[in-house]
């Protein structure tokens, strides 16, 4: 017998229904053909990690590199304009 794998979308759906408390865990377990312990486990994991959802995540390495590249290109453009202006002023 192989183990079933559930998507995160399915787990979230089940956990949110469990948190609403409109149905008992036993009823939800029967509805979704799960063990009640499995729903309780997903619920505990969800609640334990809920705080991290609202924390600021550090920018990814790629976006930091892109941001630095944009700043450097802007500086190059500014220097080119200044250089051209000074060249024209000397003529």
Tell me the per-residue pLDDT of 10-43, one tens digit each, with 9 for 90 and over. 999 999 999 999 999 999 999 999 999 999 999 9
Please indicate, yes or no, whether residues 64 and 31 belong to a single structural domain of this protein.
Answer: no
- How many structural domains does the chain have? 2
Average pLDDT over residues 4-10: 93
Q: 42 near 24, Cβ under 8 Å?
A: no
pLDDT, residue 63, reads 79
Q: Assess whether 64 and 44 both reside in one domain.
A: no
Q: Across residues 69-87, what is the average pLDDT?
A: 92
Structural domain span for residue 4: 1-56
- Specify whether 8 is located in the same domain as 49: yes
Per-residue model confidence (pLDDT) at position 58: 65
Round the average pLDDT of the chain to a whole number and report it. Answer: 90
On the 0-12 / 13-18 / 19+ scale of CB atoms within 10 A, 14 is: buried
Dihedral sign for Cα 46, 52, 54, 59, please.
negative
Q: What span, in angstroms and rounded, lies between the C-alpha atoms of 5 and 1?
A: 13
């Amino acid at each position: 017998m192989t183990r079933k794998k559930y998507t995160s979308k399915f787990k979230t759906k089940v956990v949110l229904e469990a948190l609403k408390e409109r149905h008992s865990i036993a009823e939800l377990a029967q509805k979704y053909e799960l063990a009640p312990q499995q729903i309780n486990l997903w619920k505990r994991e969800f609640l334990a990690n809920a705080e991290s959802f609202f924390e600021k995540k550090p920018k990814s390495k790629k976006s930091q590199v892109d941001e630095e590249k944009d700043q450097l290109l802007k500086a190059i453009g500014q220097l080119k304009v200044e250089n051209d202006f000074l060249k024209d002023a000397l003529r």
